[in-house]
Amino acid sequence: MPFIKIVSRRLINVRMLLRIMGWLLIVEAAFLTVPTLTCVAWGESDWLPFLLTGLGTLATGLLLALRSRPTSDYMGKRDGYLLTSMVWIVFSLFGLMPFLFCSHPISISDAFFEAMSGFTTTGASVVDTMTDLSHGVHIWRAMMQWIGGLGIILFTLAIIPMLNHAGGIQMFNAEVTGITHDKIRPRISQTAKSLWLIYIALTIVLILLLWAGPMDFFDSVCHAFGAISTGGYSSTPLGISAWDHSDYIKIVLTVFMFLGGVNFGLIFKILNGKFKAPWENEVFRTYIYIIGMALVLFVGAIVLKGAVTSWRSLTIDPLFQIVSTITSTGYTVSSFDSWGTFVLSLTFVMMMFGACAGSTSGGAKIDRILYLFKNSGNELYRCLYPRSIQSVKISGKAVNPDLVTKVIAFLCMYMLLVVAGGIALTACGVPLIDAFFSAFSCISNTGLCAGITGFGNNYDIMPDVAKWILSGLMLTGRLEIFTILVLFTPSFWRR
């Protein structure tokens, strides 16, 4: 009944949503040709599931795009929120199909978890036999996280300019990470295109650099997609530890994971000759400071723990792990387990912080943490001088108090969701510590497995209900909470 009332009162332009959904599915069908051709090139039987999934996705997309004839192109905030949430779910539902029918099929709960983890760049996996997967499945896992890195809708805005008039700004704001969303170009489609061109260029450069080292071309593509999107899927059972002997691979990945955690609008400014922009940006400076402080603490902990094995255990390895964690990539070095619980506690903090808004990373974002600390400092000052008027300033500019309130609300809901998720997982039989760690890992889109706390080496041992709960947390974290939770408020569904 509520849905019928919404349609009749035209609160939501349903036909326009279905039409855009159709275009998006056509885009997904185009991406599915890559794993299909990969299977053909390697002579693997999984080409058929990918082909059939691609054809089914294309047919559904064409049906929705051609048969849905909206009377108006107008899209409001409700349309933007609803479409964004629907797209990520629908993409995951179509994206899971190859996992169900490939040569080593998995259950629908596992398949949805794997697809949602990929598109949200969480990198958590239920696959326990990585060597059994075909090249097509590996490249599809890598592509899912690469597509989701900057955003599914953002990609469509870049290739379908007409959406600039059809509520493009609403979809842009609902999907792109961050507190505020600045257009770097006059039109939203131009902004989307510029961001994606930077993203593609960085990916190509990373592929070539990895290929120049000990990685073969296929592994270079998979790990380039995983690093620049800060997703963290690997094409080998050992992950990055398979190249533990290569300082070159770790250094290259560290640099590009770091770039994946930088606001892409800031990278755009640098490429346009504004070289002072990073150091004028307080968020970026804080990003550097946190990494530097974490490195000092990591090195101290490693020395005190007696885990020094070589010079790289005090330089390359801890820096790689710090950047991987704060950007929510989730790659781990083989020596991480021997560094002690203090390092693990710092890992939790960095998972919470995340990197910069407007990047491909997860977490709460450094921007919001800055707002929180500065506002807390102002409140402490007002305890002594209650009549004083203090404003939160970022990069020398005063911030709207309403925005500060929104940030505080976000952080409160973020932690409440971790608690709620952890409690729900304990109800599924997951041990207490592992339940809360897994909930925290998934909502922050980091994807570090519960094996770190001793529960297991993968998420495949989680009960099916727990996997659906964690999938929901991944989506909520990727779309930064408000986009999802607003759908559950009564005011969203009435005029």
pLDDT of 416 over the 60 cut:
yes
% of the chain surpassing 90 pLDDT: 59
Q: What is the pTM of this model?
A: 0.92
d(CA 194, CA 22): 24
The confidence band for 167, taking pLDDT boundaries of 50, 70 and 90, is low
CA 185 to chain centre: 24
Helical H runs in 446-485?
A: 464-478, 482-485
Q: What average pLDDT score do residues 430-435 get? A: 88
257 within 8 A of 230, measured Cβ to Cβ: yes
pLDDT of 173 over the 70 cut:
no
The confidence band for 70, taking pLDDT boundaries of 50, 70 and 90, is confident
Q: What are the tens digits of pLDDT across the range 8-63?
A: 446 788 888 898 899 999 999 999 999 999 999 999 999 999 999 999 999 999 99
Q: Which residue has the higher pLDDT, 155 or 330?
A: 330
Residue 318 tokens, joined = 């801890």
pLDDT of 163 over the 70 cut:
no
Q: What average pLDDT score do residues 161-190 get? A: 61
CA 468 to chain centre: 18
Q: What are the tens digits of pLDDT across the range 262-314?
A: 999 899 999 989 999 998 999 999 999 999 999 999 999 999 999 898 888 99
- Predicted pLDDT of residue 376: 94
- Predicted pLDDT of residue 144: 96
Q: Which residues fall within 8 angstroms of residue 185, CB to CB, at 6 or more apart?
A: 191, 193, 194
Packing angle, helices 282-305 and 366-384, rounded to 10 = 90
Residue whose tokens read 């925005």: 403
- At residue 326, φ and ψ (nearest 5 deg) are -70, -25
Residue 107 φ/ψ region, left for φ over 0, alpha for ψ in the -120 to 50 degree band, beta for the rest: beta
C-alpha distances out from residue 402 to 378, 406, 411, Å = 15, 6, 14
The confidence band for 84, taking pLDDT boundaries of 50, 70 and 90, is confident
350 within 8 A of 220, measured Cβ to Cβ: no
